[in-house]
Amino acid sequence: MVVSNLTDAVGISAGPDFTCAVRSAGTVVCWGSTALGYIAVNPIPNPSPLPAAVVGVTNVEGIATALGSTCALFEGGNVSCWSRLSGSVTVTAVPELTGSVAIANGVTECGLLPDGKVICTGGFLASSITVAGDATAITVASSSIDAAVGSPIGCALVAGGSIQCWQTVNGPGAGLGSAVVPLAAATAVATSGAHTCAVLADTTVACWGDNLFGELGNGTTEDSETPVPVSNLSGVTALATGWYHTCAVLADGTGACWGNNQLRSNEGGITDATTPVTVTF
């Protein structure tokens, strides 16, 4: 399905039940649910079936959506976020992330600085904290619904292909701990907080974490604390994790998904898939 009235998108981010895009002019449009003020339009419709402009937000270079909030990376490296979890929508600066070249949003708000340092703030954190260094890309679990104590709430792809993930220590509010994942060289990483997947240099995928619905893609529903190969999958160019499923884009332009099948109606039924199932666009 083609999104109506949007032909100049240069960036996009999908939240749990809404989506936002950056247009070529640096403005932002969003569509979908506005029940919690995900979309900072005025007045706020609920829902918004068509892309609606985010009022007063310009010169945007990147966007990051999560459960209950949206963050924007502006020209020059400033970061601001907005939500309507309590009261009216307010676009609020996040000075701790100033100078970022990339952002991620979810359980916490994180920014990647030009020197590779990753700083996270917000959420349950009492103050900003450095969680990784020498990073080239970052990902954060979209919400605390996903993240469990001891499971990654964020990960960084580190120069050279290693992956460093961070997690809560002794429950929310007690700080963050980080560790390097024992994994072959990777080119991309995505985490839901409950499970994490990485694209490896050979274009295959490995996943680890919860596996209740087969979201690790190895043909089982057994959890794994260490990365396991996704069955019969190669040629992967991009990857995304949902709460209980994972999807990949392949070099031939097709896609593949595995895990919870509740939202994949084009295959008929809601049978979960413990190995990748081809999805055509």
Cα–Cα distance for residue pair 234/251, rounded to 1 Å: 9
Ramachandran angles phi, psi of 247, nearest 5°: -135, 150
181: β partners:
none
How many residues are listed for the chain in this entry?
281
CA distance 19 to 30: 6
Tell me if 175 sits within 8 A of 126, measured CB to CB: no
**Closest C-alpha among 183, 189, 182 to residue 155:** 189
Residue 74 and residue 260: Cα distance in Å, rounded? 35
Q: What string of pLDDT tens digits covers the 281 residues of the chain?
A: 788 999 999 999 988 778 899 999 999 998 887 654 455 554 455 677 888 888 888 999 999 998 878 999 999 999 999 875 444 567 889 999 999 999 999 989 999 999 999 999 988 788 899 999 999 999 998 865 555 545 788 999 999 999 999 987 655 555 677 889 999 999 999 998 889 999 999 999 999 999 999 999 999 999 999 999 999 999 999 999 988 899 999 999 999 999 998 644 444 455 789 999 998 76
Cα(114)–Cα(118) distance, rounded to whole angstroms? 9
Query: Could you give the strand order of the β-sheet that contains 109-112, starting from the edge strand earlier in sequence?
Result: 102-105, 109-112, 118-121, 129-132
pTM metric for this prediction: 0.87
Q: Other CB atoms closer than 10 Å to residue 248's CB: what's the count?
A: 27
CA distance 90 to 37: 10
Nearest 10 degrees: CA dihedral of 54, 1, 187, 74?
-10
Return the amino acid letter for 108. Answer: T
Instruction: Decide if 260 contacts 213 (C-beta within 8 A).
Output: yes
270-280 pLDDT, tens digit per residue, is: 578 999 999 87
